[in-house]
Structure formats: C-alpha cells, structure tokens
Amino acid sequence: MFSNKTMRQVKGAKVDEKHRQELLKHINTTLGSGNLREAVALPEGEDLNEWLAVNTFDFFNQINMLYGTITEFCTKESCPMMTAGPNFEYRWADGKKIKKPVALSAPEYVDELMTWVQELLDDETLFPSKIGVPFPKNFKDTVKNIYKRLFRVYAHIYHAHLQKIVQLGEEAHLNTCFKHFLFFVKEFDLISNSELAPLEDLVKTFMADS
C-alpha cells in the first residue's frame, strides 16, 4: 500500500527532455553492465550540473518508491522518532517555516523531507527547465543538502524496517538502489563520512564489494 502523503511522483528532471532521456539511457545501460563506478561517472562531454540534476530526480523517485512500500508499517506509533538505530536521531528544520530543529515521528519527518525536496526540484531558479538557463552558483551545495537528507530515509529503513523489507522480498532491490546511491554520492563527494556513520558497516561492505 502506498501513502499519498509520502509517495510523491516527480515530474521529471528539469533539463531538455530529449537530452534527459539520453542521459537516463546511459544510466540504465551502464547499470546493466554491473559496473557501478562506470554508471555514476560523469559521461564525457556532459555538464556536471545537468548530470547531478538528472540523477537527483531519479534518486528522489527511487527513495519515494522504496519508502512507499513500508509506509503502513512506519507509523507514529511504531516510529515515534526519526532514528537510524539507537545512536542517531534526526530532527527537522527547513530553514524557512521551521528554523529551530524539532522532533518528529519518522513518517512526519519523511513527509516534511519529501515535500521540501519536491519544492526545491520545482524551483526554476534552482533546477532550471529551459535550455541554456544556467544553474545557480550554489547548486552543488543545494544538491549536497538534498542527498544528505535522502540518505536519512535509507538509514531509517535499514535500521527500523529491514525485517519487513526482507518479508516483502525487497531486500535485493533495496540494496541495489542504496549501492547505486552510495557510489554516486561518493563519486561527487555529496555526503560527509560523518553523515554516513549510521550505515558505516554497510557502506564499507558495498564499497569493498565493487
């Protein structure tokens, strides 16, 4: 069952649609080769910001889909705090409506997070949709903040809902999606090691397995 609150289908990357499809084809082809380092690397002659933008939309969509499969099990009662194991708790602040970090249940936190990311992706000043319109100078900083927070959803799923994921037969899919995400953020230095700490052992395993 998918929750409308947390299941948000994005409209598509804010780049030329034909070019976007070419980039997506490249991603799918290289992923199919099993070589993740090749899959995440910037294609020759491509603009870095466009590559970051296309992948940001797709990773956002993937994580929405994954979280959507366990929303009925991730409730205020089962997950009263947004955590990644006993040592990591996340609090929410968007810098605008909520400036001081507040404690939320996991489903509330993820809903706020997904709404926040969607608003950024829809912002033409951040993710321009018209060909030739430049990305802002702070684009990579914005992207880093998005990936840092998207990682927290993975961390929560692995720590709080892995057993249910296994029961649903989705463990292999979760691992594949996270490994792809991990290689991408490592390739472009999008998330600090301290932020990756909640899944440190898994990160080491996946990176060593490449």
Name which residue leads in pLDDT, 122 or 11: 122
Q: Is the pLDDT of residue 60 over 50?
A: yes
- Indicate whether 129 belongs to any domain: yes
CATH of the domain at 88: 1.20.140.30
Is residue 9 one of the residues assigned to a domain? Answer: no
Within a domain: residue 2? no
Q: pLDDT tens for residues 6-27?
A: 223 334 444 445 544 554 554 4
What pLDDT, on the 0 to 100 scale, is given for residue 1? 29
> Distance (Å, rounded) from C-alpha 204 to C-alpha 206?
6
Q: How far apart are CA 31 and CA 158, in angstroms?
A: 23
What mean pLDDT comes out for the span 49-64? 94
* Domain presence at residue 1: no
Q: Percent of the chain having pLDDT more than 70?
A: 83
Question: What is the percent of the chain with per-residue pLDDT over 90, rounded to a whole number?
Answer: 60
The DSSP bridge partners found for residue 83 are 89
Cα separation of 88 and 69, whole Å? 23
Find the Cα–Cα–Cα–Cα dihedral 74, 178, 65, 145, rounded to 10°: 80
Structural domain count, the chain: 1
The 10s digit of each residue's pLDDT in 188-206 is 999 999 999 999 998 988 8
Q: Give the mean pLDDT of the chain.
A: 84
What range does the domain containing 168 cover?
Answer: 17-208
Q: pLDDT (tens digit, 9 = 90+) per residue, 92-111?
A: 998 888 888 999 999 999 99
Q: Which residue has the higher pLDDT, 132 or 168?
A: 168
| 11 domain residue, yes or no | no
State yes or no: pLDDT of 48 exceeds 90.
Answer: yes
* Residue 6 located in a structural domain: no
pLDDT at position 115 is 94
Q: Is residue 44 part of a domain?
A: yes
Residue 18: what pLDDT?
58
7 in any annotated domain = no
Is the alpha carbon torsion for 195, 95, 106, 179 positive or negative?
A: negative
The gap from C-alpha 36 to its chain's centroid, in whole angstroms, comes to 17
Of residues 93 and 29, which shows the higher confidence score?
93
